[in-house]
Structure 1
Amino acid sequence: MLPSPKHPLTLALLVLLPSLSMADEVKVAVAANFQQPLEEIAKSFKQDTGNTLLISAGSTGKLFTQIQNGAPFEVMISADSKTPKKLVKSELALADTQFTYAKGQLVLWSADSTKVDAAGAVLKSASYSHLAVGNPKTAPYGAAAFEALDKLGLTSTVSAKLVQGENIMQVQQFVESGNAELGFVALSQVYKDGKITKGSAWIVPASLYSPLTQDAVLLKKGEDNPAATALLNYLKGNKAKSIMHSYGYLD
């Protein structure tokens, strides 16, 4: 026998169901450098809105190709501003939703806490055999690394030592596993709350590479999902910004 409309259980369900019906999922394509911060933001976002993020991380270029090929992503959180613009131009994203959520920083990093000096002079030394970098064609941080090497006049010197990763997370894995003594990664991967969390690192001067301006955009497949729009708005808010700052991102 079903409870009557006046039954306490029925009243409780009637109160609860509207809030449950508002909760939704958002399929998010995120650049590898921002995966960890986004996972932390996702917890706060769910607590505040009830909405869940389904996160797929990878190199910006690879995610762009997946979206072109029909991947069901609703929001793109890129490691650059060019890729969201390309998505808009291809009519795969909505132009008026694109915005810069953060600016990233490039670091030279080693899992060895004594390896990298405060001026990055280790790059010019003979104390390492392999230097990991992201694929410059698909990973903006990889492109920034090559730009920095060029400005330092080290491109030809280190060319025989280079180990290329598909994305910035793979670069970190190369260094952590010992397959490369050094690697160029995003500061967010090795930094939290004002300090390097593991190994040693040199924050590459911003003058050595083009700004890592990172944009987000609503994809066409998310235009009818209020939770997708809510996520983009959330990224502009103080809670999300505070998390980003804790990982070394700049406004």
Structure 2
Amino acid sequence: MRFGIFHTLCPLFAALAFTGNVPAEQVQVAVAANFTSPLQAIAREFESDTGNSVIAAFGATGQLYAQIRNGAPFEVFLSADERTATKLEREGLGVSGSRFTYAVGRLVLWSAQAGYVDGSDAVLKASPFRHLAMANPQAAPYGLAASQVLEALGLSATLKDKLVEGQSITQTHQFIATGNAELGFVALSQVYKDGQLSSGSAWRVPAELHTPIKQDALILKKGQHNPAALAFTEYLKGEKATAIIQSYGYQR
């Protein structure tokens, strides 16, 4: 299998093509940035099992929504929330009845420094840091969830001047990984695999501190006549895809 990474005209996300020797069909999928690693793993299994290939574009949900509205050739949308997919369906850009929740995300406060976060919200309240990263709440559902957490903890005003916003959850993770922010809110899937923290230190944010992050899939009108689009969304519901999704900390 060959993997080709290329940048589109929009610098805020990259597109990744999964291609085989003789693909039966291709499906173009717009994918919320938090789901990058799981999608890559699922796409490999999907191609191996079906012969169909996935061309995936990753970005903030709000940015992908705008591109879909502006005619981007996506055939399936994997949103980071349920609201945006529902909106596209109501606006007539999605196939009615095709929407379903493919994953329920978890938010985590993460630092690339070992021991910096002690598994609780104590570091937020002590506020020893200069920068706290989070995704733009207007563009990324995980950023909205982060803002709700700060509000629930009564820290919105206290930490306002320390916030650094990424345009997507990927950019937010980069801010923290490179040390430009000492810590920040990212998707659990970005820092955990098979129940293990990949690096640094973290606090798994209690789900009751923010609105549930239900991530919905939707077949878009441009994919309604593509058998690979239906095959891919059905594959997402299957046991193999479910196992991959859960291995990154998502719920189903």
Answer whether TM exceeds 0.5 for this pair.
yes
| 2:231 alignment partner in structure 1 | 230
- CA drift of 1:177 comes to 1.1
Kindly report which structure 2 residues correspond to 1:40-119, keeping only aligned pairs within 5 A, or say none. Answer: 40-119=41-120
- CA drift of 1:120 comes to 2.1
Give 1:90's aligned amino acid. Answer: E
- CA drift of 1:118 comes to 1.3
CA distance in 1, matches of 2:220, 2:208: 33
| 1:203 alignment partner in structure 2 | 204
| 1:134 alignment partner in structure 2 | 135
- CA drift of 1:46 comes to 0.4
Kindly report which structure 2 residues correspond to 1:148-187, keeping only aligned pairs within 5 A, or say none. Answer: 148-187=149-188
Paired residue secondary structure (1:210): coil
| 1:35 alignment partner in structure 2 | 36
- CA drift of 1:127 comes to 1.9
Q: What's the % identity of the aligned pairs?
A: 55
CA distance in 2, matches of 1:154, 1:117: 18
Deviations 1:156-210 (A, max 9, x none): 1110100000010000000011110011000000000011111111000011000
Q: Which moved more, 1:145-154 or 1:118-127?
A: 118-127
CA distance in 2, matches of 1:244, 1:228: 19
| 2:11 alignment partner in structure 1 | none
Paired residue secondary structure (2:97): helix
Aligned residues: 232
CA distance in 2, matches of 1:76, 1:198: 30
CA distance in 2, matches of 1:207, 1:91: 33
The TM-score, its normalising length taken from structure 2, stands at 0.90
Moved over 6 A (4+): none
CA distance in 1, matches of 2:161, 2:54: 41
- CA drift of 1:126 comes to 3.3
Give 1:228's aligned amino acid. Answer: A
CA distance in 2, matches of 1:26, 1:91: 20
Deviations 1:53-112 (A, max 9, x none): 101000000000000000000000000011111111111101210000110000000000
| 1:192 alignment partner in structure 2 | 193
Higher helix share: 1
| 1:146 alignment partner in structure 2 | 147
- CA drift of 1:242 comes to 0.1
CA distance in 1, matches of 2:86, 2:45: 28
Give 1:176's aligned amino acid. Answer: A
CA distance in 1, matches of 2:133, 2:67: 25
Q: Between Structure 1 and Structure 2, whose CA radius of gyration is higher?
A: 1
CA distance in 2, matches of 1:56, 1:126: 36
CA distance in 2, matches of 1:71, 1:111: 35
CA distance in 1, matches of 2:193, 2:231: 26
Give 2:238's aligned amino acid. Answer: G
CA distance in 2, matches of 1:59, 1:152: 25
Higher strand share: 2
